[in-house]
């Protein structure tokens, strides 16, 4: 009996539909929640919310089912209309005048970009030119993804939280997030492999290999954040057509090695150099 009741409640629960209909009719009517349709829906909602206790279910009448929805409910564009009430005004104020979220890039022109000297290690200079070439290749791929999918910031791509997709319905958002997630993961794997590749013919110990990779990580950070290279990056941008902000994610492909350098520089931890990557640095790399 309990199983049957639970199954029935899951299949027939209409509280969400009733509440959504209430929002729609309140927005459409000049009387708001005092409209007769809203009052009827409120009564049905009171019954529906007690269904698990009473076993009495409330059904949404066909005549009260919405055919269109206010824009602030985030439905498909074909089903939506522009709400002129306060919720609609607030919604569009937040999203911006064109109905899209306005996202400001924190470092669009490189101003106030901090450079951390503690991430530098002796010998990194020999990898600067190589790092710069890799960064240019990486940036082109990232920029291509951002422009192709109309994503406003690099941060959205890196974190997987895409505020730029708010204009799409949930199904479309999920589809776009999956595509971008796979594409970005592939790019990271490709450049991580490039980062870990060391010149052939060198017979290096673990200590020596770690030292080389730290130098490469420092160089990758340097060509991304140092004012000289930031200026060089900005010179490559087309002011008329290049709307993508300064890209900063490149060196964090080697975040575990950068974390290793930073922790050691601050004197917080003595590394076991017999291990390619200290466990704490690996942990930080997974979390950052």
As a whole number of angstroms, the distance between CA 25 and CA 281 comes to: 55
Percent of the chain scored above 70 by pLDDT?
Answer: 76
DSSP 198-252: --TT----HHHHHHHHHHHHHHHHHHHHSHHHHHHHHHTS-TTT--PPPP--GGG
pLDDT of 102 over the 60 cut: no
Q: Stretch 193-217: mean pLDDT, rounded?
A: 89
pLDDT digits (tens, 9 = 90+) for 111-131: 668 899 999 999 999 999 999
Secondary element (H or E) of residue 24: helix 15-28
Give the tokens for residue 205: 């110990």
Given this model, what pLDDT does residue 287 score? 46
pLDDT of 15 over the 60 cut: yes
Give the tokens for residue 180: 């971008």
Percent of the chain scored above 90 by pLDDT?
Answer: 41
pLDDT digits (tens, 9 = 90+) for 206-262: 899 999 999 999 999 999 999 999 999 888 876 554 555 789 999 999 999 999 999
The distance from CA 107 to its chain's CA centroid, rounded to whole angstroms, is 17
The distance from CA 166 to its chain's CA centroid, rounded to whole angstroms, is 12
The distance from CA 98 to its chain's CA centroid, rounded to whole angstroms, is 21
What are the residues whose beta carbons fall under 8 Å from the beta carbon of 112, sequence distance 6 or more? none
Measure the CA angle with vertex 139, ends 135 and 144; round to 5°: 155
As a whole number of angstroms, the distance between CA 197 and CA 209 comes to: 10
As a whole number of angstroms, the distance between CA 14 and CA 41 comes to: 11
- Looking up tokens 């009387």 gives 31
């Amino acid at each position: 009996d309990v199983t049957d009741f639970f199954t029935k409640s899951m299949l027939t629960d209409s509280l969400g539909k009733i509440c959504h209909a209430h929002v729609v009719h309140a927005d459409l009517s000049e009387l708001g929640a005092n409209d007769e349709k809203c009052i009827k829906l409120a009564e049905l909602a009171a019954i529906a919310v007690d269904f698990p206790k009473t076993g009495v279910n409330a059904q949404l009448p066909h005549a009260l089912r919405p055919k269109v929805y206010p824009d602030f409910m985030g439905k498909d564009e074909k089903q939506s209309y522009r709400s002129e009430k306060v919720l609609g005004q607030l919604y569009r104020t937040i999203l911006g005048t064109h109905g899209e979220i306005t996202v400001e890039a924190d470092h669009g022109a490189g101003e106030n970009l901090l450079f951390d000297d503690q991430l530098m290690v002796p010998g990194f200079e020999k990898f600067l030119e190589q790092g710069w070439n890799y960064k240019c290749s990486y940036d082109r791929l990232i920029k291509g993804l951002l422009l192709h999918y109309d994503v406003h910031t690099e941060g959205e791509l890196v974190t997987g939280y895409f505020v730029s997709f708010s204009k799409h319905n949930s199904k479309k958002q999920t589809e776009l997030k999956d595509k971008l997630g796979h594409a970005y993961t592939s790019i990271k794997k490709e450049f991580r492999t490039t980062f870990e590749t060391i010149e052939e013919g060198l017979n290096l110990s673990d200590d020596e290999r770690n030292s080389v990779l730290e130098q490469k990580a420092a160089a990758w950070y340097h060509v991304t954040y140092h004012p000289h290279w930031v200026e060089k990056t900005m010179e490559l941008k087309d002011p008329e057509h290049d709307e993508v902000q300064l890209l900063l994610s490149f060196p964090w492909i080697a975040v575990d090695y950068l974390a290793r350098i930073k922790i050691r520089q601050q004197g917080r931890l003595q590394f076991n150099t017999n291990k390619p990557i200290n466990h704490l640095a690996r942990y930080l790399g997974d979390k950052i």
